[in-house]
Structure 1
Amino acid sequence: MTAWRTVWQGRWARSPWWDVALAACVAVAQLWPLLSRDGPWHWWGYIVAAGSALPLVARRKAALPVLLVSHAFSASYDLVDVVAPQPLWYGPLIALYTVATRSGRWVRWGALAAVFSGGLLTVGSLDTAFRGVVVSVTAYALGRAAAGSRAYAAVLEERAARLERERILEAERAAERERARIARDMHDILAHAVSLMVVQAEAGPVVVRADPERAVATFDAIAGAGRDAMDQLRRILAVLREEQGSGAPKATVEDLPDLVRQAAGAGVEVGYEVAGEPRPLPPDLGAAVYRIVQEALTNVVKHAGASRADVRLSWQEQELAIEIRDNGRGTTAGLPPGGGNGLVGIRERAAAYGGTASAGPGPAGFTVRARLPL
């Protein structure tokens, strides 16, 4: 119903031909009593009847002048003694309806007063005057009701447009957050894998000469880090291809032992400790825990110059505490350009799930801590 009315208002109600057709119909209705009566033809009655209807062609552009002209012709109709006995009120009523729909308060009230005054000066009986007042008030009330309905429809349309704009903005913000999350994931995956591969590759020539068997293990670790990075990148790309975005598995807390073994393959001794009772985590939260530990270990391998690092997960009643501690330099002051991006990513991941993260010098090195609510 709403769609039909919108089409009607848009295509026909605003068309000038609609007013032309309306004026023609009103002219016929007002001329009909003259054409159907017996007696001689009186040209003045036809002019008055037509003059009361034809101004309706311009009723949208000049509502008040059209009303005054139409009402003047209609009022003069009663002064012609050769016409049918009933007054022709159709043109003035439609003009009054238009004024009530489109004009301001004072113009409306002034027009209504003018209609009443002119009617009282020309009618011949109280009964006719009463009928004129009733139909005029009815036309005015219908016009105000139409104006209110139109204003209400405009409010609803504006509200719907605003909600649609808000929906689009929210979708854009969600897409931006998702792009940022994917960028962090890819940064963490590549930074971790490439760091391990670079460290192991640099040590490879030395190990080959000193300990061939250990060199084989080193090269195996390089290949394993590359394969793991490729697997995780495939997971991300699979998520991007999924329409629902949830068809591919994500790294979780259960994958942390493998992550620790990879870091140990880069020449850093890594300890892994779990305190408390582990609990299942939502996939996104589990992936966030994994990425936080991954980025912290990547910084240990790349920047800390540490020989040992310890990863500790403490499962508490309402939160999960994560701590990664190393025995390296204990500061990030000497990091190369871009070296602090991972720590920013850790804070952003924790904040995204209502948690907190901090990083700074520890008792004998550098410590990264994060707390995530459960």
Structure 2
Amino acid sequence: MPSLTAYGNRLAERARALPPPAVDAVIAVVCAVNIVVQATVNGRLSVWVAVTAGVSAVALLWRRAHPFATAGVIGLCTVTLSLNGGLGDLPPAQLIATYTFAALCPPVKRLIAAAATAAGITVSVLVPEDEVLNLGLVGIAFIAAYALGTGARARRDRIAMLEERAARLAEEQAAAATRERERIAREMHDILAHSMSMVVIQAEAGPVAVRSDPDKAEQVFDTISVTAREALAQLRRALGVLRSEEASRRPPPGLDALPALVDGVRNAGLAVTLEQDGEPRPVPADLAVTVYRVVQEALTNTVRHAAAGEARVRLSWHDRTLRVEVGDDGRGPAAPSPDPSAGGAGLGLTGMRERVAASGGELVTGAGPGGKGYRVAATLPLD
């Protein structure tokens, strides 16, 4: 046999499942019946008592939408009934109205309604009966109703705050996931675009070199092997980060890897020079990766699209900035492609801009001096 507690819990769950208008209708009927019964017991039942009870009960139907007005209407009805002896010791409709305006009204209206309720209680108790003790007991009941309404309002505000915080956290998580996807896309693009471009160029030159210059052919295949191995190593590192594996076994490429990068491009047939101005100094790892990726993407675009014979990489060290410039003598800026993913340099340029912006720098691309060739220049803060 189920316990009384379990039975009560089931009743409470069913009550919470009812729609608010149905709950308010039940409350209104109960309050109206209570007034009629109290008036009957006191021998004061009349038509106007029944009408007043009906008015206060109907007002309860709008207590959620208009709590302040509902409290005023019910207060007038309660005082009228009390002064004419048609009300019991505790007016349930007024208690519910007090709970409602405490839970739903803004501060100013809540203060006005509380003061009016206190005045109404005083008049209702002292004028017809002149019993101060009853005033204390009734006051305690109304204070409890007001406290319950205040608690409900605080609980509702806290729920709203938690929901807002959860929504904001979800937005932040979505934004972080988007940034991480963009970072991974940039990383994979930079690794694959450069390495595969070098492999394709060397592979296309291999058959010719085999027939004309076997020593050169051997160098070509060595370059393909080195480039592919380096690409695989960088891909393993990127995938290791995605799997939350230890990523420090092979650090990301930085400034010290630029000579090897230039040599690889030079082996692909493009005459590249690497120059530095100013006094080099240590830089943060993320800034070093940005410099490497900018140079890598710029040289990849030169090899794939510029039909250039020469290129120059220059690092200019200043007090607070590092300027990275990559220029070539190719055919200059290409017309923008409507679909950068269709093989153009659009994705690479976008990735460069995102990397440089993330480091607090500025990227400029366009025609080289005198309108010849193409130039990529990034200015990065060192502090």
- 1:371 and 2:379 aligned: yes
Under a length normalisation based on structure 2, what TM-score does the superposition of the two structures give?
A: 0.70
1:156 to 158, 166, 182: 158
Under a length normalisation based on structure 1, what TM-score does the superposition of the two structures give?
A: 0.71
Instruction: Describe the shift of the 1:345–1:109 C-alpha distance in structure 2 as closer, same or farther (beyond 3 A).
Output: same
- Structure 1: runs of 5+ lacking an equivalent: 1-6, 28-42, 49-59, 79-87
Within 2, Cα distance between the matches of 1:176 and 1:346? 17
Offset of residue 120 of structure 1: 3.8
CA-to-partner distance for each residue in 1:16-58, whole Å, 9 max, x for gaps? 9xx99xx9xxx9xxxxxxxxxxxxxxx969xx9xxxxxxxxxx
Within 2, Cα distance between the matches of 1:250 and 1:281? 14
Letter in 2 for 1:368: V
Offset of residue 218 of structure 1: 0.5
The corresponding residue for 1:100 is 98
CA-to-partner distance for each residue in 1:193-220, whole Å, 9 max, x for gaps? 1111111111112211221101100111
Instruction: Describe the shift of the 1:15–1:263 C-alpha distance in structure 2 as closer, same or farther (beyond 3 A).
Output: closer
SS at match of 1:154: helix
The corresponding residue for 1:312 is 314
SS at match of 1:324: strand
The corresponding residue for 2:355 is 349
Instruction: Describe the shift of the 1:313–1:332 C-alpha distance in structure 2 as closer, same or farther (beyond 3 A).
Output: same
Instruction: Describe the shift of the 1:360–1:110 C-alpha distance in structure 2 as closer, same or farther (beyond 3 A).
Output: closer
Within 2, Cα distance between the matches of 1:134 and 1:75? 21
Letter in 2 for 1:210: S
The corresponding residue for 2:201 is 199
User: Is the contact between residue 74 and residue 94 of structure 2 (CA under 8 Å) also seen in structure 1?
Assistant: no
The corresponding residue for 2:262 is 260
2:225 to 183, 204, 223: 223
Offset of residue 247 of structure 1: 7.7
Instruction: Describe the shift of the 1:343–1:132 C-alpha distance in structure 2 as closer, same or farther (beyond 3 A).
Output: same
Offset of residue 300 of structure 1: 1.2
Within 1, Cα distance between the matches of 2:318 and 2:14? 69
Within 2, Cα distance between the matches of 1:325 and 1:116? 90
Offset of residue 284 of structure 1: 2.4
SS at match of 2:325: strand
Letter in 2 for 1:304: A
The corresponding residue for 2:292 is 290
Offset of residue 240 of structure 1: 0.4
Within 2, Cα distance between the matches of 1:226 and 1:209? 24
User: Is the contact between residue 356 and residue 370 of structure 1 (CA under 8 Å) also seen in structure 2?
Assistant: yes
Within 2, Cα distance between the matches of 1:13 and 1:138? 27
CA-to-partner distance for each residue in 1:111-138, whole Å, 9 max, x for gaps? 6666544434542xx4x2x233333344
- 1:322 and 2:330 aligned: no
The corresponding residue for 2:364 is 358
User: Is the contact between residue 186 and residue 233 of structure 1 (CA under 8 Å) also seen in structure 2?
Assistant: yes
Letter in 2 for 1:358: V
The alignment yields a C-alpha RMSD, in angstroms, of 4.2
Q: How many residues align?
A: 324
Question: 1:131-150 counterparts in 2 under 5 A?
Answer: 131-150=133-152
The corresponding residue for 2:302 is 300
The corresponding residue for 1:184 is 186
Within 1, Cα distance between the matches of 2:243 and 2:220? 35
CA-to-partner distance for each residue in 1:229-279, whole Å, 9 max, x for gaps? 111111110110117987863222221111111111101121112223333
Within 1, Cα distance between the matches of 2:289 and 2:354? 14
SS at match of 1:314: strand
Within 1, Cα distance between the matches of 2:362 and 2:308? 25
Instruction: Describe the shift of the 1:175–1:216 C-alpha distance in structure 2 as closer, same or farther (beyond 3 A).
Output: same
Percentage identity across paired residues of the two chains: 38
CA-to-partner distance for each residue in 1:169-194, whole Å, 9 max, x for gaps? 11111111111111111111111111
User: Is the contact between residue 323 and residue 369 of structure 1 (CA under 8 Å) also seen in structure 2?
Assistant: yes
Offset of residue 73 of structure 1: 9.7
Question: 1:84-99 counterparts in 2 under 5 A?
Answer: 89=89, 91-92=90-91, 96-99=94-97
